[in-house]
């Protein structure tokens, strides 16, 4: 899936060149989508059109650059793990948050129970299901879904975010693996909240309706150190943003995080709804929608597009 590119010979800060490269990335992404398929383990997700593809790149000044399906709403899925982590850091603090969840990548699938049962009592990190469920348990003691939704809207700079009821129902009816995780956490005595209340909050957060634009805005908020660049409002402390970006880099793309880090090198988080949110230095946010997924559960088109952007615009964090 990944390919290698020549180093660019043009000025990677020239707006016209940036626009041209984003269009190429969009074309590559749309083409690569043919190699993937929509998730079906949550029945409602199987209804997505696998041919859909859209990309939005947004900086703090000027209009966003958009191509394709950027307004269409879809469920945020695992990208909500970034919001849950940000809320935990903001409302509970670093020390309390990481007393109950680790910071290490697992190399296992996002919904794996293996290491949680055999290696560590605490979930490895907040970007896998076990870790995000653990954080949802902590949050469920201090806020309700309405308050977390308000935070999600501020974090994505998008007041249009709402609960997708159909996805929420589909998830709660079929989410037995997540049910297993919450009860495993309870059996180990590490779960911080009531198991059913915890799961309900986790499922609701996975079912938020976003679009590629809201994901680009999330990436932009992270690029702006937690401040909304349009209103000046501080949403999350800059010190916490560094923690969030680090975990996105090391754990944000499930068990593809290592290869993605080498080949793309942009702190990103994906979801099985087909979204990817990326954040580039202090420059801009990138949001992608492509519900055709690769075998690891990441948007096939999204990865192709982000790899193209990263190489041509030299966006790798270590470039
Ligand atoms: N709601 C999904 C689940 O819990 C989220 C997974 C994902 O996007 N990787 O299985």
CATH of the domain at 219: 3.40.710.10
DSSP E strand boundaries for 69-218: 74-75, 162-163, 208-210
Check residue 5 and give its pLDDT.
62
Single out the residue in 206, 230, 255 at which a domain terminates: 206
Examine the domain organization and report whether 82 and 201 are in the same domain: yes
Examine the domain organization and report whether 89 and 149 are in the same domain: yes
Residue 30, pLDDT > 60, answer yes
Examine the domain organization and report whether 84 and 177 are in the same domain: yes
State the pLDDT confidence band at 4, using cuts at 50, 70 and 90. Answer: low
**Is 7 domain-assigned?**
no
Instruction: Say which of 57, 167, 210, 272 is annotated catalytic.
Output: 272
Q: Which atom of ligand 1 is nearest to the CA of 206?
A: 1
Mutate to test the pocket of ligand 1, among 40, 42, 110, 274 (most ligand atoms within 8 A of CB): 110
**Distance between CA 34 and CA 277 in Å, rounded?**
21
**Distance between CA 30 and CA 18 in Å, rounded?**
18
**Is 299 domain-assigned?**
yes
**Distance between CA 259 and CA 313 in Å, rounded?**
19
Examine the domain organization and report whether 304 and 263 are in the same domain: yes
Check residue 104 and give its pLDDT.
94
Q: Give me the mean pLDDT over the 14-42 stretch.
A: 93
Q: Which atom of ligand 1 is nearest to the CA of 77?
A: 8
State the pLDDT confidence band at 25, using cuts at 50, 70 and 90. Answer: very high
Examine the domain organization and report whether 90 and 145 are in the same domain: yes
Atom 2 of ligand 1: nearest residue by CA position = 77
Check residue 118 and give its pLDDT.
86
206-226 pLDDT, tens digit per residue, is: 999 999 999 999 999 999 999
Check residue 250 and give its pLDDT.
97
Residue 12, pLDDT > 90, answer no
Q: Which atom of ligand 1 is nearest to the CA of 178?
A: 4
Examine the domain organization and report whether 261 and 115 are in the same domain: no
Examine the domain organization and report whether 145 and 119 are in the same domain: yes
Does the annotation mark 5 as catalytic? no
126-183 pLDDT, tens digit per residue, is: 999 999 999 999 999 999 999 999 999 999 999 999 999 999 999 999 999 999 999 9
**Is 10 domain-assigned?**
no
Does the annotation mark 81 as catalytic? yes
110-128 pLDDT, tens digit per residue, is: 988 888 888 889 999 999 9
Q: Which atom of ligand 1 is nearest to the CA of 79?
A: 8
Please tell me the distance between residue 52's alpha carbon and the centre of ligand 1 in angstroms. 20
| Tally of CB atoms within 10 A around 78 | 25
Percent of the chain having pLDDT more than 70? 97
Single out the residue in 176, 206, 236 at which a domain terminates: 206
Does the annotation mark 254 as catalytic? yes
* Average predicted confidence (pLDDT) for the chain: 95
Whose tokens are 């634009």? That residue is 213
**Is 3 domain-assigned?**
no
Examine the domain organization and report whether 263 and 177 are in the same domain: no
Domain count, the chain: 2
Dihedral, CA atoms, 5, 6, 10, 11, nearest 10 degrees?
A: 70
Please tell me the distance between residue 21's alpha carbon and the centre of ligand 1 in angstroms. 31
Examine the domain organization and report whether 190 and 239 are in the same domain: no
pTM of the model: 0.96
Q: Which of 136, 123, 145, 157 is nearest to 85 (CA)?
A: 136
CA distances from 196 to 136, 140, 245 (A): 11, 10, 30
**Is 59 domain-assigned?**
yes
Examine the domain organization and report whether 225 and 296 are in the same domain: yes
Residue 8, pLDDT > 80, answer no
Does the annotation mark 269 as catalytic? no
Check residue 63 and give its pLDDT.
85
Atom 7 of ligand 1: nearest residue by CA position = 78
Single out the residue in 182, 206, 230 at which a domain terminates: 206
Check residue 1 and give its pLDDT.
55
Lowest-pLDDT range of 15-29, 104-118, 231-245, 272-286: 104-118
**Is 106 domain-assigned?**
yes
Domain that holds residue 303: 15-74+210-313
- Is 10 or 232 the better-scoring residue by pLDDT? 232
**Is 169 domain-assigned?**
yes
**Distance between CA 126 and CA 92 in Å, rounded?**
14
**Is 136 domain-assigned?**
yes
Does the annotation mark 78 as catalytic? yes
Residue 2, pLDDT > 70, answer no
Give per-residue burial for 11-42: e unless 16+ CB within 10 Å, then b.
Answer: eeeeeeebeebbeebbbbbbebbeebbbbeeb
């Amino acid at each position: 899936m990944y390919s290698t590119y020549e180093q660019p010979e043009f000025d990677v800060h020239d707006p016209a060149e940036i626009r041209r490269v984003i269009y190429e990335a969009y074309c590559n992404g749309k083409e690569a989508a043919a190699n993937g398929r929509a998730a079906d383990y949550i029945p409602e997700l199987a209804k997505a059109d696998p041919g859909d593809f859209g990309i939005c790149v947004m900086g703090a000044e000027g209009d966003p650059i958009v191509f394709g399906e950027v307004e269409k709403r879809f469920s945020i899925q695992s990208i909500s793990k970034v919001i849950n982590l940000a809320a935990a850091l903001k409302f509970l603090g670093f020390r309390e948050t990481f007393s109950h969840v680790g910071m290490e990548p697992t190399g296992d699938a996002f919904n794996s129970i293996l290491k949680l049962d055999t290696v560590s009592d605490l979930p490895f990190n907040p970007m896998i299901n076990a870790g995000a469920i653990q954080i949802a348990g902590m949050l469920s003691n201090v806020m309700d879904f309405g308050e977390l939704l308000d935070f999600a809207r501020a974090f994505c700079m998008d007041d249009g975010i709402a609960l997708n009821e159909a996805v929420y129902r589909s998830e709660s009816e079929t989410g037995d693996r997540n049910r297993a995780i919450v009860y495993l956490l309870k059996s180990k005595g590490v779960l911080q909240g009531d198991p059913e209340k915890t799961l309900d909050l986790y499922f609701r957060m996975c079912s938020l309706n976003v679009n590629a634009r809201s994901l680009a805005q999330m990436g932009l908020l992270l690029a702006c150190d937690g401040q909304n660049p349009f209103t000046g409002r501080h949403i999350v402390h800059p010190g916490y943003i560094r923690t969030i970006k680090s975990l996105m880099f090391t754990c944000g793309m499930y068990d593809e995080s290592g290869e993605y880090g080498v080949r793309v090198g942009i702190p990103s988080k994906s979801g099985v709804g087909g979204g990817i949110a990326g954040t580039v230095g202090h420059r801009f946010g990138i949001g992608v929608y492509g519900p055709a997924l690769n075998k690891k559960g990441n948007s096939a088109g999204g990865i192709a597009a982000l790899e193209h952007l990263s190489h041509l615009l030299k966006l790798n964090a270590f470039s």
